[in-house]
Structure 1
């Protein structure tokens, strides 16, 4: 139909592209891990860790993109948001945390509940500022656009952060590859419940509240949503994990983190459905 000509990239995208990315990534991760362990070649370690930590974030963003069919966002924009937005978010959070948070007396003890909330506030602010920077020149009419950019930025942040955690685990365990692989797998399983979900929720609300004058508006609803995702983030970081579910092949899943993640993912699902229903055709479709 003529009215759809505003979206030249709008075509029926395959809804299973994410599944193709998933199984190809799993095969590559298993093969490279096996070859690294079999040959004992340490040069493969960065490849294994990068594949393992980027796989689920990329699949998550691909899944969302596959299931929306009326958006101005192209794969190039999503990729740019994932890479550049993730880097900007990590850099911003690192600088702010080093300035605003005291150095822990015992890093092995993890974060306290108040420390977890402080980190949540800082990291969610850093990621949404990256979203605002990337989308500063685009029209803020569609909540689905904000949701997708937010998910891409959040998952880019998650992939880089998980890679850092895997490397830290490698160093703390005197170069023991098994500990690093365990960290990679565990954080990969939890990736859909964390950064990408929280930033997607906040960015969707921000875009929905900024539909006039092509400027972002920090309304009361945006601020409340920021506090909501920061609280989820803080609880994720600060609550003690004492109860675990063990899944094959013996991977312990913290029950509290799982419940917090389900709350966030359920919220995102509701917002995703509403964002698709509220889509409207703008008079122009300017890219970022």
Structure 2
């Protein structure tokens, strides 16, 4: 009797990240060397989509059911991401104005549009599990993040002194490092809670989901406002007064820059840790849910 050994299936996400990173670095080098502006769109797209696409591929390999197809993931990433940034742009333009609560409004709007996009694109799924909700929620969130990062990268390219390739590359590096603990993480939490009690016919808008939505929106608002919060903390700790840059924005005194930077990163680190721990709790529930289904099948 011949025994056929099954080779472990190779993961796609490491290859996606490695090849994408090499192409992005090559694009940076060639763009710096040649100064060819036609390469800028390549640089923007590669840098903005590399980390989000990698994490979506990683999540896709951990799906819970055959309902989560590559086509569905592509659609939620692309369509969900575009609908999210368009909806957020319209609502923020007409509903928000400079105030103390500006970032709270941003958090509420952006998390709401991503959640609505997710519900619209997945409403017909026959099976809705907590784990699949996390995966598809993360997919919509990372799609939103990719398109938003592309916008930030493009904006950072234009300065009063002309085109700044350094500004573009720096922005992409920073947003790429922060992408895993931003939009993808927040919408993954909401996606899991949206799917958990749902059926084929409709989604159940539970009190737990509403509470989680407010919690995620608050994390989002705190993340966006951390620079302002860190500035206030820095001024209190150092007993100094803020100065203003040419644009009229308050900035920390020069000798307090280190305190400001450490405070900003520490604050964002705490927010990211809260989000990651929250997601881990949901993933633990998802594993228990899957184990219960398997025991029921037996």
Same fold by TM-score, threshold 0.5 exceeded? Answer: yes
Q: Secondary structure at the match of 2:128?
A: coil
* Match of residue 95, structure 1, among 90, 93, 112: 90
Alpha-carbon distance in 2 for matches of 1:113, 1:148: 34
Task: State which of 23, 35, 55 in structure 2 corresponds to 1:28.
Answer: 23
1:95 and 1:13 mapped to 2: Cα distance? 47
CA deviation after TM superposition for structure 1 residue 238, in Å: 1.3
Equivalent-residue separation in structure 2 for 1:228 and 1:239 (angstroms): 16
- Which residue pairs with 1:190 in the alignment? 178
CA offsets, 1:62-92, max 9 Å, x none?
Answer: 1112234544201111111100100011111
Computing the radius of gyration over CA atoms, which structure comes out larger, 1 or 2?
Answer: 2
- Match for residue 191 of structure 2 among 191, 203, 213: 203
Size of the alignment, in residue pairs? 256
Query: What is aligned with 2:225?
Result: 238
Alpha-carbon distance in 1 for matches of 2:153, 2:202: 39
**Counterpart-to-counterpart distance in 1, 2:55 and 2:80:** 16
The SS at the match of 2:101 is: helix
The 1:56/1:255 distance shift into structure 2, 3 A limit, reads same
**Alignment-derived partner of residue 256 in structure 1:** 267
Partner Cα separation in structure 2 for residue 137 and residue 22 of structure 1: 31
Q: 1:216 aligns with which of 184, 188, 203?
A: 203
Match of 2:282 among 271, 280, 286: 271
Query: Deviations 1:242-282 (Å, cap 9, x if unpaired)?
Result: 5436xxxxxx982322221122122212212322331348x
Report what 2:42 is aligned to: 47
For residues 90-142 of structure 1, the C-alpha deviation after alignment (integer angstroms, 9 at most, x for no partner) is 1111111111102x4xxxxxxx6621111000000000000011012123531
**Do the aligned residues in 2 keep the contact of 1:113 with 1:237 (CA within 8 Å)?**
no
When residues 234 and 253 of structure 1 are mapped into structure 2, their CA distance, relative to the original with a 3 A threshold, is closer
Higher relative contact order, structure no. (Cα contacts within 8 Å, ≥ 6 residues apart): 1
**Structure 1 residues 14 and 274, CA, compared in 2 at 3 Å: closer, same or farther?**
farther
Give the secondary-structure state (helix, strand or coil) at the position aligned to 1:218: coil
Q: What TM-score, normalized by structure 1, do the two folds share?
A: 0.82
Distance 1:127 1:50, change over 3 A: same
1:78 and 2:89 equivalent? no
Cα separation, 1, equivalents of 2:85 and 2:138: 15
CA contact (8 A) 1:200 1:268 kept: yes
SS at match of 2:67: coil
Q: TM-score scaled by structure 2?
A: 0.80
The separation in 2 between residues aligned to 1:56 and 1:67, in whole angstroms, is 17
Q: Which residue of 2 aligns with 1:38?
A: 33
**Which residue matches 2:13?**
18
Matched residues in 1 for 2:220 and 2:100: separation?
A: 11
Q: Cα RMSD (Å) of the superposition? A: 2.2
Aligned-partner SS, 1:254? helix
Segments of structure 2 that go 5 or more residues without pairing to the other structure are 1-5, 232-259
